[in-house]
Structure 1
Amino acid sequence: MTQASKRALITGIQGFTGRYMAAELEAHGYEVVGTGSQASTEPRYVQADLTDAVSLRTVLADLQPDVVVHLAALAFVGHGVADAFYQVNLIGTRNLLEAIAACGKTPDCVLLASSANVYGNASDGMLGEDTPPAPANDYAVSKLGMEYMARLWQDRLPIVMTRPFNYSGVGQGENFLLSKIVSHFRRRAPVIELGNLDVWRDFSDVRAVVAAYRGLLEAAPVGQTVNVSSGVAHSLRDVIALCEQITGHRIEVTVNPAFVRANEVKTLTGDNSRLRRLVPGWATPALQDTLAWMLDAR
């Protein structure tokens, strides 16, 4: 079957990553259908709430996708209600897997987006897929729980698990760090409040992340967990300096103690060698290029 005749289902298609994922798959010939919890008049969109198991089964029986990319999740770590993480990320994913298994067609690949947050604060330095998880908040626990739950379906569904590290791009909400910094530079704000400037993090470009997901759908390394990361760490001081260099605008950085986490890990970098083996030629742009794209966005 050619890609052109393959139907891809993207859950959370109206989210930041979902829109880029749809564009990536359409550019490579897939017929894309998306779901989300909100009503919408967009074409090829079906309203389907992950927490509603019955309607999800109806939707999947109708769509019968060839591949599934499961992006829908409650993602903002600062979200106030812990229960919601488990309802959506854990129970919602279980409902989805049940609906896929019952739909009458086994897809070629079901890609589940977990999170590098599962590694938590216990490990410094370069994190590989075999690094023991140590989640440090409800969001991360809900994602790790989702991973374990999904393993129970491995004999019935061709599941691939991804653990994306931080990534950014045009259109991401300002409650994410790089987007917050970029928005301050775009409006030439004189001051920005941040937390610890000396933490080093691994940042990728959303366009590279969705290219990795597409590559994994096609390679279908069933049963594997794959980091999606740049393999390079930058400090927040680096990010500020790059933005100043690109825009010529100087900004005063004040450290807000409320933004400093007590048990913050100094350096988090993802080992992406498994991804590069599975998807030959995959790469993410240099952080400077991603920032320049975001700063220049119309």
Structure 2
Amino acid sequence: MKVFVTGGAGYIGSHTLVRLLAAGHDVCVFDNYANSSPVALARARQLTNREVVAVEGDIRDSDALAQSLADFAPDAVVHFAGLKAVGESNDIPLLYYQTNVTGTMNLLAAMDAAGCRRIVFSSSATVYGEAQYLPFDEEHPIAPTNPYGRTKAMAEGVIRDWATATPDASAVLLRYFNPVGAHESGRIGEDPQDTPNNLMPFVAQVAVGRRARLSIFGDDYDTRDGTGERDYIHVVDLAAAHLAALEYSARATGCEAINVGTGQGITVKELVAAYEAACGRPIAAEIAPRRPGDVASSYAATAKAERLLGWQAALDVDDMCRSSWKWQSENPQGYDATTGAGA
């Protein structure tokens, strides 16, 4: 299969790229490297001994996108490219709408011109907003509480309307919970360009000495230990879910939203303890006030993924922490410290 991957040099994109190449698919990556690195592509080539076409471009550039799709003529698209920081989206909402919504519209138009009718979209559980009940299933109301979540919900709506209006179209909207961990080789992993917005990369940077301590925002929630509880999924499991979604899209039409999580919640303190066991050193942490908008618990209902995709998560929190530490300890400055694209 020929697969066009937007944002394929990013964290989730690069892990999915390795799975796609290992499965024998031909891949073209379209990425502007705004929050990623071409080194990840070089390492994906090394890990799989496979070549990948790489095009540097921005999904807001409709002409470049259309030309790349026309040149590659893919059978399917996996759409990762987008901005993803909740806090930042409050500060620069227009850029989020231009990238995440207009960029998706540009992609669908380019797919139409190239005759491509299959897409797997990188969505987010952020579209659900505040939990009306748990676990979140795909029928939970969509009520995002920040611009990032609203752009994901709008992009989902655009894709759903496109699929409804396009004969033989197939779209899978994968609503991720909290991707963490790294490839077992330690060669690719999460490399935030600025201060990490998520818990595990922050913990990893404290463990490796890049940051002094972790702030735990609130220890008085109604959870097992008072700290927030989230559904963390290993990025390698998430990559496998994309392959399963591609296979599903080949035998189904229409549009389906599918949660991708483990169905289990892990608290902040539990994740920190697991990371301490993985790295063999204490993680300096302090309790800070709750952050506005944070909820006590969030975890996925996963039955739909099992039913439609034949997929379920296989890796646990210890696997997540061990692989993250291998990546972070062997790449303490992420990809920036490498010398040369193939380092």
Which residue of 182, 196, 209 maps to 2:238? 209
Note the 1:62-141 alignment, pairs <5 A. Answer: 62-79=71-88, 80-103=91-114, 105-107=115-117, 109-141=118-150
* Correspondence 1:184 to 2:206: yes
Change (3 A) 1:57 1:160: same
Matched residues in 2 for 1:189 and 1:56: separation? 38
Note the 1:159-198 alignment, pairs <5 A. Answer: 159-170=171-182, 171-172=189-190, 173=192, 174-187=196-209, 191-197=213-219, 198=227
Matched residues in 1 for 2:33 and 2:213: separation? 36
Q: Which piece of structure 1 moves more, 21-30 or 213-222?
A: 213-222
Which residue of 46, 63, 66 maps to 1:54? 63
Is the Cα–Cα contact under 8 Å of residues 189 and 251 in structure 1 kept in the other structure?
A: no
Q: CA RMSD in A?
A: 2.0
Aligned to 2:45: none
Q: Which piece of structure 1 moves more, 42-51 or 144-153?
A: 42-51
Quote the offset at 1:159 in angstroms. 1.3
Quote the offset at 1:15 in angstroms. 0.8
Is the Cα–Cα contact under 8 Å of residues 124 and 265 in structure 1 kept in the other structure?
A: no
Quote the offset at 1:78 in angstroms. 2.2
Quote the offset at 1:168 in angstroms. 1.0
Quote the offset at 1:132 in angstroms. 0.3
Quote the offset at 1:251 in angstroms. 3.2
Aligned to 1:277: 307
Matched residues in 2 for 1:59 and 1:247: separation? 43
Aligned to 2:263: 231
Is the Cα–Cα contact under 8 Å of residues 122 and 134 in structure 1 kept in the other structure?
A: no
| SS class of match (1:224) | strand
Deviations 1:180-238 (A, max 9, x none): 11221233977422312411000001110010011010011441110011110011011
| SS class of match (1:114) | strand
Aligned to 1:3: none
* Counterpart residue identity of residue 165, structure 1: F
Deviations 1:90-109 (A, max 9, x none): 11101100110111x234x2
TM-score w.r.t. length of structure 1: 0.90
| Structure 1: gaps of 5 or more residues | 1-5
Give % identity. Answer: 28
Aligned to 1:12: 7
Change (3 A) 1:60 1:252: closer
Matched residues in 2 for 1:186 and 1:38: separation? 25
| Structure 2: gaps of 5 or more residues | 42-51, 183-188, 220-226, 331-343
Deviations 1:21-66 (A, max 9, x none): 1111000010111101249696511123211222222221111101
Matched residues in 1 for 2:125 and 2:109: separation? 25
Quote the offset at 1:77 in angstroms. 1.6
Is the Cα–Cα contact under 8 Å of residues 32 and 58 in structure 2 kept in the other structure?
A: yes
* Counterpart residue identity of residue 272, structure 2: I
TM-score w.r.t. length of structure 2: 0.79
Quote the offset at 1:275 in angstroms. 0.6
Quote the offset at 1:277 in angstroms. 1.4
| SS class of match (2:135) | strand
Matched residues in 1 for 2:210 and 2:32: separation? 36
Is the Cα–Cα contact under 8 Å of residues 25 and 32 in structure 1 kept in the other structure?
A: yes
